[in-house]
Structure 1
């Protein structure tokens, strides 16, 4: 035993190290947008809880079903009368004086019985409405799950493609840094040879520093974006995530000409309609509460009575009792509780109908605003793309003039600043177009 303990103590550090290594293991993922959405379906807490609500409703339905099924219970009892109960009967029966009473013990010392009880509901309006509503209840929770998953999906689309677009932003910044460093090198060389002022070289250095700081800021935003995407998907933050898809202007314009929509395509509308169906069942339930309830009951008892503790002795008699009954309960007056419940259910149903009508107006409003924003975002994207290309041409021409001595260092610095501004505006327009497209597709119920 001592040897075993010593071996365990020697192996303990290795076991702890192995466990820590397993906990620190980093999993690498290379995901398309579809992969991210599928991963979120399995790991996002909100989506998982919404799916659990479906399973909870399934168990609730089983409970509702049990009310319509027979209930069978068994029982057994043993009674030892330490003192047998005494009753008094008129003494005249035994020849006594009129008005006298004689104490008599009825019964035996030991009583034993075993039995079965059966209860079967034959009719209860509220129970049968509950049975009818089971399917709608499951569909209601399933639709709630789909609505939750859609909200997560929309945010994943936005973050995913913004991070994809951010790669282009980094590429542009890297290209600008290369150009700025080349210009800085040229400016320093001209200064050393006496063809430029020190101020020109310093301006070029400041431009490089500004671009590098801007790149650091963008990189931090991208890193935080990846953290946010992982959290939204339910992925461990320590895991590595690579986005494999790209985004283009043509992809962003795909839904621009499709401005048709149907309320039934909106998951929220489908969810509300299912809520209305459940409200109608609730009204029906309270209407049927005015009807009688009918139930069948049955009892079977196997019993024996003894003065000696020999009831399990072979050959001793046991006696059987069987009972069957029909129970009808007729509601007469309950202090207007059923009427209050019925009126409340009708008012709640009216609220649901009002909310559905209002939701249609909300969809119209969302679609119109989302389409206007989407269309404007695409127009801005096109214009800013042209402006960015133009700014790049101006910069390159100015750079050539500078190299030929026909433009000043200030001219190059200004056109470079204009180019960076135009490129930044273009990237921001792409971000805006991505969000606008996702919002429009969600508003029209066409989000994949």
Structure 2
């Protein structure tokens, strides 16, 4: 049941929010994480390609079914013998007076003939056909799993890029707030300097910090645009579409803790299920080869009309047409093929062994990814708590340093250092939030439950 969660999630999107998100996609607007994922699942080209593969597998299954249905063909045949083929017969066959040792050469047939008819055949028994039906159905399931795996990757990529853009925008807000503070400080120092209450070097220090901050803001603005454009590419929408992202509540400390309680049933991973389907398809391939040892039985019928003439007058209403008809059964029993099927089975068995090794390595990698994701999330949560404390401490230091500076008990350099430290602490805090959200997404993805990232 759990493997259908992502399908249910997409269906819910389509029923509840697709039209709303589509309108905003066309007009531009503020997008939530859920809306970005919804558009990605709908417009991403990799998903569309995977869905086309799934559609092709459905047509292939129908093609195989068609081979077991009646096969009807119409045909026509016209012959114009410029020279009627001669036939040799012993003397005395047609004329008793002819010497039997002689050879008489005569022409049997007429110069022109025409034949038209229809034939029908029906497969009665074929072991290969029965196995092919099972393989076609399994192939459909295989491509459906590939589509689901692609959808899972898109949800993961959209979420991480969404977090990345939000984090960068928060850093920009941090720089803008510091820029406003420095601007006010610059005006104060400038006024003090003009009234000989401050040194020129202090005024220059503020200007240098302000210029450096503005340069960082310019670079960060470019980074925001680049990350937004990449997010649009993952979502499958034109990069010239104007979008803004809704503020995300990164202070929700319950979500990462809930992720640590996730069910560690790794069998839900689509990559493991895909390998399982590959093994099923390989087993069916072996059965299909073995079916070559079984006899094949089919029935057929043919109805035709024939006309003969010395000249082309078949369209004449008075021309005689002679009907012919037959029905029959055709049995094909394989006896010896030079050990071809035996060696094909051996080759397929080797492929099966290789898939088993792939399954073993995939299971080990899945287990390692899960353990690493759990460890990464736990460490990230601890680091975030440390960064949060560090941020609070930096805010207190800046407040105290500002009070001391206003009272003339602290130099300007201490105030600027405290401002820089707070800016760096906030940037580190935002980066660590992204690390926590990334680790959370990694944990959900490692257990094949990436859809839970939206619910949290």
Matches within 5 A, 1:45-60: 45-60=45-60
Deviations 1:74-98 (A, max 9, x none): 1112223333333233332311123
Aligned to 1:409: 412
Contact 1:384 1:425 in 2 (8 A): yes
Q: Distance in 1 between matches of 2:88 and 2:291?
A: 51
Q: Distance in 2 between matches of 1:68 and 1:201?
A: 90
Change over 3 Å in CA distance of 1:418–1:295 after alignment to 2: same
Q: Would you say 1:213 and 2:209 are equivalent positions?
A: no
Q: Would you say 1:334 and 2:334 are equivalent positions?
A: no
Q: 2:322 aligns with which of 299, 316, 319?
A: 319
Aligned to 1:168: 170
Deviations 1:235-256 (A, max 9, x none): 1111111212513221653534
Aligned to 1:39: 39
Q: Distance in 1 between matches of 2:190 and 2:141?
A: 72
State the Cα distance separating 1:73 from its structure 2 match.
Answer: 1.0
Q: Distance in 2 between matches of 1:246 and 1:163?
A: 11
Aligned to 1:70: 70
Q: What is the CA RMSD across the aligned residues, in angstroms?
A: 2.1
Q: Distance in 1 between matches of 2:400 and 2:72?
A: 94
Contact 2:259 2:443 in 1 (8 A): no
In the comparison of the two structures, how many residue pairs are matched? 424
Aligned to 1:355: 358
Contact 2:250 2:433 in 1 (8 A): no
Q: Distance in 1 between matches of 2:176 and 2:314?
A: 98
Structure 1 stretches lacking a partner, 5+ long: 1-24
Deviations 1:364-417 (A, max 9, x none): 111111111111111111211121121111111111111111111121122112
Q: 1:375 aligns with which of 358, 373, 378?
A: 378
Contact 2:256 2:437 in 1 (8 A): no
Q: 2:143 aligns with which of 135, 141, 144?
A: 141
Contact 1:26 1:238 in 2 (8 A): no
Change over 3 Å in CA distance of 1:26–1:281 after alignment to 2: closer
State the Cα distance separating 1:310 from its structure 2 match.
Answer: 4.2
TM-score (norm 2): 0.87
Q: Which moved more, 1:257-266 or 1:417-426?
A: 257-266
Give secondary structure in 2 for the equivalent of 1:289.
helix
Q: 1:198 aligns with which of 191, 197, 200?
A: 200
- Kindly report structure 1 stretches of 4+ aligned residues shifted beyond 6 Å: none
Q: Which moved more, 1:87-96 or 1:131-140?
A: 87-96
Contact 2:266 2:446 in 1 (8 A): no
Q: Distance in 2 between matches of 1:431 and 1:257?
A: 17
Aligned to 1:98: 100
Deviations 1:293-346 (A, max 9, x none): 222232222112234544444454322222223222222222322111111112
Q: Which moved more, 1:387-396 or 1:96-105?
A: 96-105
Q: 1:364 aligns with which of 342, 352, 367?
A: 367
Q: Distance in 1 between matches of 2:344 and 2:389?
A: 66
Aligned to 2:111: 109
Contact 2:256 2:377 in 1 (8 A): no
Deviations 1:51-88 (A, max 9, x none): 11011112222222222222221111222333333323
Q: Distance in 1 between matches of 2:61 and 2:341?
A: 23
Q: Distance in 1 between matches of 2:390 and 2:249?
A: 20
Q: Distance in 1 between matches of 2:173 and 2:316?
A: 97
Give secondary structure in 1 for the equivalent of 2:428.
helix
Q: Distance in 2 between matches of 1:193 and 1:312?
A: 119
Aligned to 1:21: none
Give secondary structure in 1 for the equivalent of 2:258.
coil
